[in-house]
Amino acid sequence: MLLLHPAGTVVVPLYVSCHFFVHLKMVDMKVRNFLAVAATVILFAACETPYRATDVSGTVVVSSGMQRTFYDQYPNATNVVWTSYDPNVVILNDWELAEYGSLDESDYAVAFDMDNERYYAWYDRNGNWVGSAYVVSDYTTLPSAVHSTISAQFPSYTIKSVNREYKRDRVCYEVVLKRDDSKVVLLVDNNGNILKQKSKSTY
């Protein structure tokens, strides 16, 4: 109830203003509770994000921690596609030669574009980075030490394919060489040192 003061001023009785204040307080509490619940839902949803994948299910769930690890390593990655690791699918490299260790279907593979190259990377189930690789299409970009090793030790062989592979702080090149029916696969570091080698009989 409003009272009109003789001077024309409107006076709000104390019990009315108190009631209005309490009502506003209740509304404010409801809004706060709603925002808290909404924030919790959003936070929970952010922890597990479905990504487009190439496996049968069409999606693979990747934790927010693994996503952060990936984008910390590759902030400029585009066209990112996550999949569950499939030991039957050979994407780029000889797994044993690359020394990436043992993975299974509970681990992850991710393909992405960066610096005009199609990269592949692997993470274990805990989100730890295992390694990365991409196909080297221009052999002239290989370090001169790698070229020198190939020319000196395999002079009659032709380069058929090269992958650049990353593992921890190591950068290596997996080089496939061929001469007639003979094939050799090398794992060579930046300094031209041959770390591993396989011939056709063992490859």
List the CATH code of the domain at 139-199.
Answer: 3.10.450.40
Q: Looking at domain 53-131, which CATH architecture does it have? A: Roll (3.10)
pTM of full prediction above 0.75:
no
Identify the pLDDT of residue 98.
74
b (16+ CB within 10 A) / e for 99-124: ebeebeeebbbbbbbbeeeebbbbbb
Q: Which two tokens stand for residue 74?
A: 């590759």
Asked if residues 196 and 178 have their Cβ atoms less than 8 Å apart, the reply is no
What is the rounded average pLDDT of the residues 156-176? 92
pLDDT in tens, 129-163: 999 999 999 999 999 999 999 999 999 999 999 99
The residue ranking higher by pLDDT, 200 or 186, is 186
